[in-house]
Amino acid sequence: MADAGSSAPPVVEFHDVTVAYSGRPVLWNVDLTITEPCLFGIIGPNGAGKSTLLKSGLGLVPLVHGTARFWGRPLADVRRRVGYVPQRETVDWDFPVSVMDVVLMGTYGRLGWFRRPGSRERSLARECLDRVGLIDVADRQIGRLSGGQQQRVFLARALAQEADIYFLDEPMAGVDARSQEQIFGVLAGLRSEGRLVVVVHHDLRTAATWFDRVALIDMRLVATGPTAEVLTPDNLRRTYAGQVDLLQEIGQAVAARSRTT
Amino acid sequence: MSPTACLAAAPALTHNTLVVAAGVAAVGCAAGVVGSLSLLRKRPLIGDAAAHTTLVGVAAAFLLTGRRDLPTLLTGALVAAVAGLAALVLVRRFTRTRDDAATAIVIGVGFGLGIALLSGITARGLPGSAGLEQFLLGHTAALTVRDAVLLAVVSAVAVAVVLLGLKEATLVAFDADFAAATGWPVGLIDQVLVTLVAVMVVVGLPAAGAVLVTALVVIPPVAARQWTDRVPTLLVLGGTFGLVAAIVGVAVSAVVPRMPTGPLVVLAAATICIVSLLIAPRRGWLARRHQQVTLEPPPGMRRLR
């Protein structure tokens, strides 16, 4: 039994993943292994392919090359155990559903075709809403919530999936500080229950304090490991190099223009 | 003309008229229900592409079989509608044409071809071809009781399919990515919805005609959306508005001679829609105009005066 831990397949393994949108590659040969449950941040500049990496794992974008495996198995075998929080802007918040309706959607995967949510699903959804602090607005139409509340509705829906791995795509984008703390509190709770939480995140300052481990991505994997070891000035320079160049270019262009006029 | 002769000339409220009206009302109701889902999926123009290709099928069915009974012609229309939607998918997949442009191409080509075929048939006065042009603008006076029963049965099946798959359809319409990530076959669910829209467009042909039948699928749901923030209520209201519009259209065209049904049905639906857009609570124009801008102060802060 001594080697059971080391021989167990990693929770998540991206192997040699390459993704392209209409011929233009956005991710190149990414190898990323997450061996055990933790709070894991995927960090990088805009357009670095962070969300694409999540989506490639969930089968939402086709892989040109490579594989994504969960506990050593393909996604199709373990779909019920993988929860997902998409970016908030991907849906129409004017849609005629209540907060409760959206959270119940998290139970649909387990319910299967044609079965409607019953009292078990409703009480689970209420628990999840309570966990994110939204039980008081359960019957409200989703458009009449703040951005932070909408994000927490999505989190509650993922909780209702009762998954073991959670993929969250920019859950802090456009979210007030209080909702951010509340969301991270829930995520830390999931980790302490032994679940893996993978978060696409863009804010370096909060990343350093919240995540156990991170991966720096800029179309390819720059570095991965424990947060303190990875978020070094050198690694950050390499990850954000493209943007530094861009800034310099803009600066030069502005300088050139002010000289001519 | 004596008063009695006048009365006899006016279309009486026979058993036949009533059955036909009921059949068309069922179509209006089902079109409103199916259309509500298609509105939620944000694909209202899919029905338009299907509708404008139906005439090709009506003409082709007549030319191939020499028959002009409703089941034959509508079967042809359905085949053509599905072919039109397949063409739409092909244009989108193999060219870099945008959605709206591809839809416009299918509508234009399908409708042009259909009109050319129908004109050719009627110009040659082929035996039994009289009345085919009624599929352009809709005319329910010629429907038989058997036709009406067919329309009602197909409508009932369409509504039953919607009610059966409402959970799945709502999930895909709200968040297709989440649906796909949790293992639902989004493409298949979309195909069922598109097929339902095509079927409703086809059975709506006698009531509204190829040009206007889309309005039956689009306008009542838009009106219904003004009144509710819940999907089940949306379906009930969409169906009710469609039913009322269909009955008004059939009733008026039965009384006014030579009046096609389609424009009347659409005008009735449009009236409901305009009133809804104006006076609905909260979402209506009047309500939003008179809405007080109230700023809730953050907790712990005094309300500004």
Nearest-angstrom CA–CA distance, A147 and B84: 41
Chain B neighbours among A 173-232 (CB < 8 Å)? none
Q: Does A114 touch chain B (CB under 8 A)?
A: yes
For residue A253, the model assigns a pLDDT of 57
Chain A partners of B234 at a C-beta cutoff of 8 Å?
A: 96
Q: What share of chain A is helix, strand, coil (3-state, %, to 5)?
A: 45, 25, 30
Chain B partners of A60 at a C-beta cutoff of 8 Å?
A: 177, 180-181
For residue B287, the model assigns a pLDDT of 87
Maximum distance among all Cα pairs of chain B, rounded to whole angstroms: 84
Stretch A59-84: mean pLDDT: 95
pLDDT at A41 over 90: yes
Q: Does A113 touch chain B (CB under 8 A)?
A: yes
Q: How confident is the model at residue A238 (pLDDT cuts 50, 70, 90)?
A: confident
Stretch B246-257: mean pLDDT: 87
Nearest residue in chain B measured CA to CA from A81: B182
Q: Does B234 touch chain A (CB under 8 A)?
A: yes
Q: Does A91 touch chain B (CB under 8 A)?
A: yes
How many separate helices (H) and strands (E) can be counted in chain A? 12, 9
Out of A90, A109, A113, name the one closest to residue B177 (CB): A90
Question: Could you give all domains of chain B from N- to C-terminal order, each with its CATH number?
Answer: 12-289 (1.10.3470.10)
**Cβ–Cβ below 8 Å for B174 and A95:** yes
ipTM over 0.85? The verdict is: yes
For residue B177, the model assigns a pLDDT of 96
Residue B186 DSSP class: H
Q: Does A102 touch chain B (CB under 8 A)?
A: yes
**What letter represents residue B240's amino acid?**
T
Q: Whose CA is closest to B40, among A91, A33, A190?
A: A91
Mutation test of the interface with chain A: which of B178, B225, B226, choosing the one with the most A Cβ atoms within 10 A? Answer: B178
For residue A103, the model assigns a pLDDT of 98
* Residue B9 exposure: Cα atoms within 13 Å on the Cβ side: 8
Q: How confident is the model at residue B116 (pLDDT cuts 50, 70, 90)?
A: very high
Nearest-angstrom CA–CA distance, B153 and B159: 10
Q: Does A98 touch chain B (CB under 8 A)?
A: yes
Stretch B90-104: mean pLDDT: 87
Q: CA of A158, closest CA in chain B: separation in Å?
A: 10
Stretch B32-40: mean pLDDT: 96
Nearest-angstrom CA–CA distance, A165 and B181: 13
Q: Does B174 touch chain A (CB under 8 A)?
A: yes
Query: Taking the mean position of all CA atoms in its chain, how far away is CA A92?
Result: 20
First to last CA, chain A: 76
Residue A205 DSSP class: H
Out of B180, B181, B231, name the one closest to residue A97 (CB): B231
For residue B223, the model assigns a pLDDT of 97
Q: CA of B126, closest CA in chain A: separation in Å?
A: 50
Both tokens of A39, joined, read 């709070």
Q: Does A25 touch chain B (CB under 8 A)?
A: no
Q: CA of B112, closest CA in chain A: separation in Å?
A: 34
Torsion of CA A129, A135, A141, A146, to 10 degrees: -80
∠ CA A199-A204-A208, rounded to 5°: 80
Chain A partners of B182 at a C-beta cutoff of 8 Å?
A: 79, 84, 108-109, 161
For residue B46, the model assigns a pLDDT of 86
**Cβ–Cβ below 8 Å for B181 and A84:** yes
Q: Tell me which residue has tokens 């002009």.
A: B68
For residue A177, the model assigns a pLDDT of 87
How do A165-169 and A82-85 pair as beta strands? parallel
For residue B293, the model assigns a pLDDT of 55
Nearest residue in chain A measured CA to CA from B233: A96
The H-assigned helical ranges of A42-118 are 50-57, 75-78, 99-104, 108-111
For residue A259, the model assigns a pLDDT of 56
Q: What share of chain B is helix, strand, coil (3-state, %, to 5)?
A: 75, 0, 25
Chain A partners of B160 at a C-beta cutoff of 8 Å?
A: none
Q: For B178-227, what is each residue's pLDDT tens digit?
A: 999 999 999 999 999 999 999 999 999 998 999 899 999 999 999 999 99
Q: Does B124 touch chain A (CB under 8 A)?
A: no
Q: How confident is the model at residue A252 (pLDDT cuts 50, 70, 90)?
A: low
Q: CA of B167, closest CA in chain A: separation in Å?
A: 7
pLDDT at B48 over 80: yes
Chain B partners of A84 at a C-beta cutoff of 8 Å?
A: 177-178, 181-182
Q: For B143-168, what is each residue's pLDDT tens digit?
A: 899 999 999 999 999 999 999 999 99
Query: Taking the mean position of all CA atoms in its chain, how far away is CA B51?
Result: 9
**Cβ–Cβ below 8 Å for A96 and B171:** no
Q: How confident is the model at residue B99 (pLDDT cuts 50, 70, 90)?
A: confident
* E strand intervals along chain A: 12-21, 24-34, 39-43, 65-70, 82-85, 165-169, 196-201, 213-218, 220-226
Burial of B187 (0-12, 13-18, 19+ CB in 10 A): exposed
Chain A partners of B178 at a C-beta cutoff of 8 Å?
A: 84, 86, 105, 157
A226 forms beta bridges with A213
Stretch B113-140: mean pLDDT: 86
**Cβ–Cβ below 8 Å for A59 and B180:** yes
CB B20 within 8 A of CB B146: no
Contacts 24+ apart (CB under 8 A), B282-289: B283/B225, B283/B226, B283/B227, B284/B226
Candidate from A114-123, A249-258, B123-132, B265-274 with smallest mean pLDDT: A249-258
For residue A206, the model assigns a pLDDT of 87
Q: Does A92 touch chain B (CB under 8 A)?
A: yes
Return the CATH number of the domain spanning residue range A4-260.
3.40.50.300
Query: Taking the mean position of all CA atoms in its chain, how far away is CA A8?
Result: 24
Stretch A110-119: mean pLDDT: 96
**Cβ–Cβ below 8 Å for B178 and A84:** yes
Out of B164, B165, B229, name the one closest to residue A96 (CB): B229
Chain B partners of A82 at a C-beta cutoff of 8 Å?
A: 181
**Cβ–Cβ below 8 Å for A105 and B180:** no
**Residues near A25 by beta carbon (within 8 Å), at least 6 away in sequence:** A18, A19, A64, A219
For residue B239, the model assigns a pLDDT of 98
Stretch B244-254: mean pLDDT: 90
**Sign, Cα dihedral of B219, B223, B229, B231:** negative
Q: Where are the domains of chain A?
A: 4-260
Q: CA of B81, closest CA in chain A: separation in Å?
A: 28
Q: For A172-225, what is each residue's pLDDT tens digit?
A: 988 988 899 999 999 999 999 999 999 999 888 888 889 999 999 999 999 999
**Cβ–Cβ below 8 Å for B180 and A60:** yes
CB A157 within 8 A of CB A105: yes
For residue B256, the model assigns a pLDDT of 84
For residue B298, the model assigns a pLDDT of 52
Q: How confident is the model at residue A261 (pLDDT cuts 50, 70, 90)?
A: very low
For residue A202, the model assigns a pLDDT of 85
pLDDT at B299 over 70: no
**Cβ–Cβ below 8 Å for B174 and A91:** yes
pLDDT at A258 over 60: no
**What letter represents residue B84's amino acid?**
G
Mean of per-residue pLDDT scores for chain B? 88
pLDDT at B5 over 50: no
Nearest-angstrom CA–CA distance, B44 and B50: 11
